[in-house]
Amino acid sequence: MSKAAIPDPRAFGSRVLEQRNAQGLNRREFGKRLGISIAYVQRIEKGTLVYIPDFLPKLAEILDTTCDWLIYGEAKPLVPYTELNAHYIRKLKELMKHLQLTQARMAADCGTSRPVFGRYLNESRAITLDILERVCAVYHVRMDYFTTDLSLKKAFVIESPKPAAPSVMPLMGTDSQAGERIRKRREQLHLTKAELGRRTGINAGNIVRLENGNTRIRYETAYKFAKALQVEPEWILYGTAQDIPYPITPDVSLFLERHEEVRRMIWEMMESDGSKAPEDD
């Protein structure tokens, strides 16, 4: 499978967005004509979802273009979705075998569960660009290992990582110190373990083990906690970064709920500097 034969989901999404705007369609109308949700349209346009050929011809018809242009930006033979997905699966299994990883180990390293990861491997769930990027980040693999026929010998950005330690970066200090920082910051923000779990996507049982120092804390996990706790990942891992100033505490949230003029001022500031999330136009 050559590089030209593998579509780039982000480029595909960009072309869909470009052509949708050219046709004067908003996401709601576009999704309605395709029979999909606005959220699904957003995932396509952001390039986080591999294209689905079942509605690709209809999509191209609505956008007054061709499937080949949407996928490749030029005339190229169409690669069936099943062939593309099977290619990703072969590459994942090849990498797992090379690193001597179990399915559960790779799932954990990539921040997902074993059952979900299993659905990727048995083709009952489409492999997304997000999953491939996580694999590349954790195991230091070049993305073109997945998008081409690049061999494993040339796939690694640096020396192949050891199977027993696939973390992105080594930890300084002890896991108990990192867990203690997580616990103190959670209590400072008046968050329960269940609430922190909802914000991070990590179940309360694992949070207990993390806070007790009984579970290794990888950088990807620290990043999730950092976002939820409004600190830097390095602070959780090493205790060196400072807290984000003016954290959004429950008191702040309550104040914003009571003062519409403050919320309006914040939204106007966000719109002026481009921080405001795009609405479903």
Concatenated DSSP letters of 18-50? HHHHHTT--HHHHHHHHT--HHHHHHHHHT-S-
3-state secondary structure of 74: coil
pLDDT score of 4: 32
Chain length of the chain? 281
pLDDT score of 160: 39
pLDDT score of 76: 55
Q: Which residues pair with 141 in a beta bridge?
A: 156
Q: Which of 243, 236, 241 has its CA nearest to residue 210? A: 236
Is pTM, for the whole model, over 0.75? no
3-state secondary structure of 141: strand
pLDDT score of 2: 35
Which domains, from first to last, does the chain contain? 3-72 (1.10.260.40), 81-154 (1.10.260.40), 175-238 (1.10.260.40), 250-281 (no CATH)
First to last CA, the chain: 38
pLDDT score of 26: 92
- Spatial separation of the C-alpha atoms in residues 121 and 103, rounded to whole Å: 9
pLDDT digits (tens, 9 = 90+) for 181-221: 888 888 888 888 888 888 888 887 788 888 887 776 776 78
- Residues of the chain predicted below pLDDT 50: 1-6, 159-174, 241-245, 275-281
Tokens representing residue 143 in the block: 């993305």
